[in-house]
Amino acid sequence: MACNDIQEHFIDYLEGNLGEMARKEIEQHLTECGNCTKDMKELQEIVAVLDSGSDFIQIPDNFMSNVRNAVSNTQNSRRKKSKHRATMGIVATLFLTLFVGTAVATNSFTSVMDWWKDLSNKQNEQMQDYVQQGLGEYLNLETESNGVKVTITSVVADDIQTLIYYEIEDEQKDNNYMINFSKGLQITNQDEIWNIKDEPSYSPVSSSLSIYSESNHVYRGRLGAAPMSTDEGTIHLELSKLEKLSNTPRDTEGSQSISIGTNEFIEGDWRFDIPVKKHPAIVHEFEVETEIDGNPVIFDKLTIAPTITVLSYRYRNENPDRKIQYLTIASLESKGKHVYGQQGLAGSGGGGGSADGWNSVETTFESLYFEKPTDVLIHIGSASYSIEEQAQFAVDVSKELPQTFEYGGNKISIKQIEVGERTKIEMTEELHHKRVYERLDYRFYDKDGQGASGGTNVDGYYIDKHGGKYKVNENFYRLNELEHPRFFSTEHHIQLYRDDKEGDFVPAVLEIEGYSVTSFYDDIIEISFE
């Protein structure tokens, strides 16, 4: 399968809705494609956050359907790869437009609202900096149609991405609307601005970001597009429809919250001629090598653009006992200033193996452009390792529960099994104070050795450097307050079903392939550009 086809099945893969052959095909592709592996790792992290917060996030029934549609629509509009990915990749887009909207709309988290306001304030401050430095422009281009006014407020562009900020006001004060970049948006001169020919299905716009609005019935957002092929030009943007947002309750301060889209649209005719000037990035190439637990890591390049900083590096798993799943960069430092992963969704990455076994990663951070650094300090944060330690345990649905096994000096118990069209299994793990492993890598098989499709909701605890223990569903938004938090799984709510033939899935074997552990580091890699 091509990357586009593979990525369209990511959600089904994570939900366990694929057959054995399709699952293996995706897994094989992920071992060979670094970009797809990075997208999958990010999506797994987002889904894990949603799962861990499922007890107190009111996720609507159509949430994952909306995610799946957004993945499909986004991939259909990203048939041509640019040199660098936009600031907000597909997963970040889904998180910010769907998950954050859901959490805010249900008023589940005060911290989410605070985080969102802070994110939006930073967007405003960044745009002011762009304008003051001559790198961006305030435009305020307005068009009204069908009682809805759309304003292109500002734009900034560089070698990494093009960012278009906008506001939408319902002049009837009845609804809120947003731009759905995969439906109703067209750039009529994209062949000229992005040098794209013979690809009518391609759209350079690949992401969106919701920005907090103080005003009722005014939606604020940002579109992210690929870097332009020309140094300057005029983008002819046409909107034929806008997506209606669901009802938006107010927060405790009386300001409006933003919700997710409803898949309902209002039609109209909004046209804009947006003047844009692209500003060059500063590219520093180098080759600085270090190692992490016997695995070589090489830092290759730092691309510093006005809107973002991109660190390129690669690693190779040479220690068979500690294979890196992904490596986290805590921050970049220059002249005493630290910059962190963009939106909290970058800053870490996984990669796929290439012909020589290297995993390539591009990690995005806040921009260092205005600092004009002559050197940079790379602060290594943590690494997640995959440890192979296989074990098999017999499961007998006819015997009394719980059925308990011992793995890694820790007790694992199957507390409940409900065999049916979707077999439900409840499995728990002790959290012994000397427990080594964090999360298990396991599968269930029937008596014939056949696996099953399905999904798992996992709960557990964060344990910090000092032994502090924090329930995940109460503390996952406090991670920045915890020192070296590691997630230990303790509860697994599993649903399994056959995909190769009719009948119920009856578990007979629990096979553990290994587990993951996390190590934290204080290593600092100094890189000079002089």
Which residues, 6 or more positions from 333, have their beta carbon under 8 angstroms from its beta carbon? 339, 376, 377, 379
Strand runs (DSSP E) across 228-345, as ranges?
Answer: 232-245, 261-279, 282-292, 295-304, 309-316, 323-334, 337-339
Check whether 383 has a pLDDT greater than 70.
yes
* Residue 252 sits in the same domain as residue 358: no
In a domain, 37, yes or no: no
Helical ranges in 81-109 per DSSP H: 90-94, 100-105
Spatial distance between the Cα atoms of 442 and 423, rounded to a whole number of angstroms: 16
* Residue 405 sits in the same domain as residue 330: no
* Residue 345 sits in the same domain as residue 208: no
Which residues, 6 or more positions from 139, have their beta carbon under 8 angstroms from its beta carbon? 152, 153, 154, 155, 274, 275
CA 192 to chain centre: 31
Q: What is the DSSP letter of 96?
A: I
Per-residue burial over 161-171, b if 16 or more Cβ lie within 10 Å, else e, is bbbbbbbbbbe
Which pLDDT value is given to residue 17? 55
CA atoms within 13 A on the CB side of 60: 19
Longest dimension (CA), the chain: 73
- The mean-pLDDT minimum among 8-12, 107-111, 369-373, 419-423 falls in 107-111
Residue, of 258 and 83, whose pLDDT is higher: 258
* Residue 286 sits in the same domain as residue 274: no
Q: Of 279, 294, 328, which residue sits at a domain end?
A: 279
* Residue 305 sits in the same domain as residue 436: no
* Residue 265 sits in the same domain as residue 298: no
CA atoms within 13 A on the CB side of 63: 20
- Residue 44: CB atoms within 10 Å: 16
pLDDT confidence band for 82 (50 / 70 / 90): very low
Q: Of 279, 297, 324, which residue sits at a domain end?
A: 279
Three-state secondary-structure class, residue 193: helix
In a domain, 72, yes or no: no
- The mean-pLDDT minimum among 4-8, 56-60, 457-461 falls in 56-60
Q: Are 441 and 481 within 8 A, CB to CB?
A: no
Which pLDDT value is given to residue 249? 43
In a domain, 138, yes or no: yes
For the segment 440-482, what is each residue's pLDDT rounded down to a tens digit?
999 999 999 988 887 788 888 989 999 999 887 676 656 667 8
CATH of the domain at 161: 2.60.40.1630
* Residue 218 sits in the same domain as residue 334: no
pLDDT confidence band for 261 (50 / 70 / 90): low
Domain count for the chain, please give it.
3
Which domain range does residue 299 map to? Answer: 282-386+521-528
Which residues, 6 or more positions from 114, have their beta carbon under 8 angstroms from its beta carbon? none
Spatial distance between the Cα atoms of 199 and 70, rounded to a whole number of angstroms: 20
Residue, of 206 and 478, whose pLDDT is higher: 206
In a domain, 46, yes or no: no
In a domain, 45, yes or no: no
In a domain, 226, yes or no: yes
CATH of the domain at 366: 2.60.40.1640
Average pLDDT for 153-169:
94
Report the mean per-residue pLDDT for the chain: 79
* Residue 194 sits in the same domain as residue 328: no
Of the segments 189-203, 374-388, 445-459, which one has the largest average pLDDT value? 374-388
Spatial distance between the Cα atoms of 529 and 314, rounded to a whole number of angstroms: 19
* Residue 82 sits in the same domain as residue 225: yes
* Residue 272 sits in the same domain as residue 333: no
Q: Helices 34-52 and 20-32: crossing angle, nearest 10°?
A: 120
In a domain, 289, yes or no: yes
Average pLDDT for 15-20:
57
Spatial distance between the Cα atoms of 179 and 222, rounded to a whole number of angstroms: 9
**What tokens appear for 326 in the block?**
């992904």
- Residue 477: CB atoms within 10 Å: 16
For the segment 394-450, what is each residue's pLDDT rounded down to a tens digit?
999 999 999 999 999 899 999 999 999 889 999 999 998 889 899 999 999 999 998
Q: Of 227, 256, 279, which residue sits at a domain end?
A: 279
pLDDT confidence band for 119 (50 / 70 / 90): confident
Which pLDDT value is given to residue 15? 52
* Residue 330 sits in the same domain as residue 374: yes
In a domain, 40, yes or no: no
Sign of the Cα torsion 389, 391, 397, 400 reads negative
* Residue 502 sits in the same domain as residue 370: no
